Structure 1
Amino acid sequence: MLCFSQKQSIAMASLLFSFFFFLLAFSAYAGSIGINYGRVANDLPPPSKVVELLKSIGITRVKLYDTNADVLTALANSGISAVVALPNELLSSAAADQSFTDQWVQSNISPHLPATQFEAIAVGNEVFVDPNNTTRFLVPAMKNVHASLTKLNLDGKIKISSPIALSALQSSYPPSSGSFKTDLTEPVIKPMLDFLRQTGSYLMVNAYPFFAYEANTDTVSLDYALFKPNAGVVDSGNGLRYASLLEAQLDAVYAAMSALKYDDVQVVVSETGWPSKGDSNEVGASADNAATYNGNLVQRVLTGGGTPLRQKDPLSVYLFALFNENQKSGPTSERNYGLFYPNEQKVYDISLTLTNESTTVTNVSKSQTPAASPSSRGGGQTWCVANGGSAAEKLQAALDYACGEGGADCGPIQPGATCYNPNSLEAHASYAFNSYYQKKSRGAGTCYFGGTAFVVTQPPKFGNCEYPTGY
């Protein structure tokens, strides 16, 4: 039996408390991962097999593009909640007559209750770019569907929203300049945001860093698009540093909403993904990049925290998509967003649950090993610094962990020591994170700290403090 002195017991209790606080802070800001289950294909497994697949990979939230009865029946009593859709072609009817939406709800939602869990109804999809010009029907249709749910006392259980594309923005760079297109703002954006606020719902946004990278390879870093270690991009308008393109895209939406005084409406990423194959002109479409993007995105979401502008709002994301869909039109990439082939084999191997490494993505043909850090790839000296956009509670918990159980050398950031000034949480955390990172030989995953840190290739600048490069 081991015996501890009172001093040792107090130290151990303090260490355990710091680690517990780190876990508590993580859980308080953890996000959620769902997946889009599209069915524009003639070779997909039956819905019952799809539900088994979803359960086997730990997915508990699925988004559909219709209200297919076979799919909703298969989801019954599965523990998987569904977002269903009223398609664009029904918007004019739904907007014109509430009796239509009454019948739609009674035919497509009510028969599956309570066995099937409905999270939300997506009224239309990317309506603003619908070639059939259905924009004017959107908000009236949303209101009528909500009224139909209210008649059945379902309005408090099922939310109403509508996915928008980033093309609804007039400006998106830098994120702080985000604004909606002027021809959409008064007719539809403001009425829709009013509706979402009044009903306690959220705005659905389809965001694809792949498209932004493909169109701007000369100015957009692939590492930045893929959530890989990079120096980040500083917003010249608000001074915030962005470590990923997706977060910058979301904050452009938040900034646009803020400009209209809708800071209280949340955003859910209703679609995002990366194609595993594309045409010759679709730069960046590959299985390796798709695995990296989706794998790193999952870890980013599940480790918690929001965007630099909305730090305490956990990210809620639906990956696109579950399967490759062979009947989709358009470029090759459109048929190759799936995590799985129709035979249920993986297109590439990623974890959909939280791992201990920041990057655990592989191509299906490779062994499952973490991606190398910049230093191990021969990219020269690197340092680990704190993400100043992280929530203060989470950053403090990570700092406590680094200085405690992590074994970082935190003596220089104590009061009166050489690196105490500047006396800021970001500066102190950066010193502690870098100490840990260097002691761990700059290995993959050692500069992460629950998403509060990232790797840089230039020495950090905090006062006159010198940051070590090795131990």
Structure 2
Amino acid sequence: MRSQYILFTSFFLFSSLSQNAWSNTNGSIGINYGRIANDLPVPSQVVKLLLSQGVTKVKLYDADSTVLTALSGTGISVTVAMPNGQLESAATSQSFTDTWVQSNIMAYYPKTNIDSIAVGNEVFVDPQNTTSYLVPAMHNVYASLVKYDVASTIKVSSPIALSALGNSYPPSSGSFKPDLVELVIKPMLSFLNQTGSYIMANAYPFFAYMADTKTISLDYALFRDEKGVTDPNNGLVYKSLLEAQMDAVYAAMGLLGFNDIKLVVTETGWPSKGDENEVGASPENAQGYNGNLVKRALTGGGTPLRPNDPLNVYLFALFNENQKPGPTSERNYGLFYPNEEKVYDIPLTIEALKNWNGMVNGSKNEVVANTWCVANEEAGNEKLQQALDYACGEGGADCRPIQEGATCYDPNTLTAHASYAFNSYYHKNSRLSGACNFGGAAYVVTQPPRFGNCDFSTGY
């Protein structure tokens, strides 16, 4: 659930650091996979869609068995969630979290690449008032991960809404609401610091823009403000509202003495349709926001206050969800319709970004002619094997030629067999941009590969 609390309503007075001052470290793009709908494709089909788009990170709102099973062996990094309704039990019973971790994490890990657990979601605005349970629940979940010896690879955090901030203007003056600081914020930040985790934040410039269109320009909200405006306290210049929102969270943490905790934007997006009073909700603006955000994250650099920390964000959301309550916008944040057609076209990978023309017409990805898909040896044998198993299994690649005794069995190496399977999958999916990724285990080449006597040039 996304908070509709409005912050940053006086945010137009900012801009951004020079690109030359930014780190070259690239960020990452993930997608929230919500399922509050009665017309979505089955999880196994959804996973094929994710792989075809080159998606490497997915965030869930539960730990659904069917979804986690479908993601098995794909290499996609997964954030699972413990719903707010389970926080009281998790906070008061270590045996509850032991059982929860065993059933929802260990039953699938590591074949399903679970890398984090979101304990609750926007708990501070939960009408059931679960705030007091949050940090004890996080501690117990972490203790259970320690018990199963996976605490070093699976992070524990909790997404906060920006309404947790009491002050957000200018970003350098960001602070948390006083009533939350001692109760939950400081204990949570101490936990994140001690466990080497990061803070999760849900940030929606759309809400701020809709609430104050006279002060906030659409260009500033959509990453199109070339001039930018300045934070009067420190001279840092912002060219996008999202980066200003992120820096307000960084400043709020710094005010409490926590200057080293990373931030991941676990939800952000823009609706393609809204009610009459939902100013700015349109496919053109949704494409502009999400497309420009992807470009901003994948081409490197951090925020003005944290220039060396890359932008890691999860777009909301994969599908339009027809059973979500609230205004029309709530049901129209999806990148895809339930029939898997695009609502609008945006890139999700560096490769797709190169070919992105920014057109809004619901069209499919551009087919890249005269290209082939091969294994990325740098991904490591384990990741290659998982991707190979998926391609030859649920992915539907034609792997008969790489069976023992068949035409492409030799050379009998993981790289050769994976390349054949990945290329078969790529061509089966019409060489759509993003269909050659497998969580970083594959990449596109422009010359037909050759392994032994196996000829890739004829296609499939």
TMscore range, shorter length: 0.7 to 0.9
Residue 150 (str. 1) matches residue 146 (str. 2):
yes
Q: Which secondary structure state, in structure 2, belongs to the residue aligned with residue 324 of structure 1?
A: coil
Report if aligned partners of 1:292, 1:359 keep a CA contact under 8 Å in 2: no
Q: Which residue of 1 aligns with 2:66?
A: 70
1:235-254 maps to which residues of 2 (within 5 A)? 235-254=231-250
Report the AA paired with residue 153 of structure 2.
K
Match of 1:362 among 336, 340, 359: 359
Q: Which secondary structure state, in structure 2, belongs to the residue aligned with residue 362 of structure 1?
A: coil
Runs of 4+ in structure 1 over 3 Å off: 25-28, 355-360, 365-369
> Aligned pair in 2 of structure 1 residues 104, 252: CA closer, same or farther (>3 Å)?
same
Match of 1:46 among 34, 42, 47: 42
Q: CA deviation at 1:233?
A: 1.6
Residue 170 (str. 1) matches residue 159 (str. 2):
no
- Equivalent pairs counted in the alignment come to 345
> Aligned pair in 2 of structure 1 residues 309, 368: CA closer, same or farther (>3 Å)?
same
Q: CA deviation at 1:175?
A: 0.4
Q: CA deviation at 1:99?
A: 0.5
> Aligned pair in 2 of structure 1 residues 171, 359: CA closer, same or farther (>3 Å)?
farther
> Aligned pair in 2 of structure 1 residues 229, 28: CA closer, same or farther (>3 Å)?
closer
> Aligned pair in 2 of structure 1 residues 157, 357: CA closer, same or farther (>3 Å)?
closer
1:413-452 maps to which residues of 2 (within 5 A)? none
Q: Which secondary structure state, in structure 2, belongs to the residue aligned with residue 270 of structure 1?
A: strand
Please, what TM-score do these two structures have when normalized by structure 2? 0.73
Structure with higher RCO (Cα < 8 A, 6+ apart): 2
Report if aligned partners of 1:296, 1:358 keep a CA contact under 8 Å in 2: no
1:130-145 maps to which residues of 2 (within 5 A)? 130-145=126-141
> Aligned pair in 2 of structure 1 residues 359, 177: CA closer, same or farther (>3 Å)?
farther
> Aligned pair in 2 of structure 1 residues 368, 324: CA closer, same or farther (>3 Å)?
closer
RMSD: 1.8
Taking the aligned partners of 1:70 and 1:366, their CA distance within structure 2 comes to 29
Residue 182 (str. 1) matches residue 178 (str. 2):
yes
Q: Which secondary structure state, in structure 1, belongs to the residue aligned with residue 80 of structure 2?
A: strand
Residue 326 (str. 1) matches residue 305 (str. 2):
no
> Aligned pair in 2 of structure 1 residues 360, 154: CA closer, same or farther (>3 Å)?
same
Q: Which residue of 2 aligns with 1:287?
A: 283
Q: Which residue of 2 aligns with 1:259?
A: 255
Residue 97 (str. 1) matches residue 76 (str. 2):
no
> Aligned pair in 2 of structure 1 residues 36, 365: CA closer, same or farther (>3 Å)?
closer
Taking the aligned partners of 2:357 and 2:94, their CA distance within structure 1 comes to 49
1:375-454 maps to which residues of 2 (within 5 A)? none
Q: CA deviation at 1:238?
A: 0.9
Q: Which secondary structure state, in structure 2, belongs to the residue aligned with residue 340 of structure 1?
A: coil
Q: CA deviation at 1:230?
A: 3.2
Q: CA deviation at 1:368?
A: 9.9
Q: Which secondary structure state, in structure 1, belongs to the residue aligned with residue 100 of structure 2?
A: helix
> Aligned pair in 2 of structure 1 residues 162, 365: CA closer, same or farther (>3 Å)?
closer
Taking the aligned partners of 1:237 and 1:201, their CA distance within structure 2 comes to 29
Report if aligned partners of 2:342, 2:363 keep a CA contact under 8 Å in 1: no
Please, what TM-score do these two structures have when normalized by structure 1? 0.71
Q: Which residue of 2 aligns with 1:340?
A: 336
Q: Which secondary structure state, in structure 2, belongs to the residue aligned with residue 40 of structure 1?
A: coil
Match of 1:115 among 98, 111, 115: 111
Deviations 1:221-253 (A, max 9, x none): 000000114321210111111000000000000
Taking the aligned partners of 2:188 and 2:195, their CA distance within structure 1 comes to 11
Report if aligned partners of 1:295, 1:360 keep a CA contact under 8 Å in 2: no
Q: CA deviation at 1:107?
A: 1.1
> Aligned pair in 2 of structure 1 residues 277, 356: CA closer, same or farther (>3 Å)?
closer
Q: Which residue of 1 aligns with 2:401?
A: none
Q: Which secondary structure state, in structure 2, belongs to the residue aligned with residue 120 of structure 1?
A: strand
Report if aligned partners of 1:223, 1:229 keep a CA contact under 8 Å in 2: yes
Q: Which residue of 2 aligns with 1:218?
A: 214
Q: CA deviation at 1:188?
A: 0.3
Deviations 1:294-353 (A, max 9, x none): 000000000100000000000100000000000000000000000000000000011112
Match of 2:82 among 83, 86, 99: 86
Q: Which secondary structure state, in structure 2, belongs to the residue aligned with residue 107 of structure 1?
A: helix
For structure 1, list consecutive stretches of 5 or more residues without a partner in the other structure: 1-24, 370-471
Q: CA deviation at 1:357?
A: 6.7
Report if aligned partners of 1:296, 1:359 keep a CA contact under 8 Å in 2: no
Taking the aligned partners of 1:281 and 1:173, their CA distance within structure 2 comes to 25
Residue 194 (str. 1) matches residue 194 (str. 2):
no
Deviations 1:367-395 (A, max 9, x none): 999xxxxxxxxxxxxxxxxxxxxxxxxxx
- Report the structure number with the largest CA radius of gyration: 1
Identity of aligned residues (%): 68
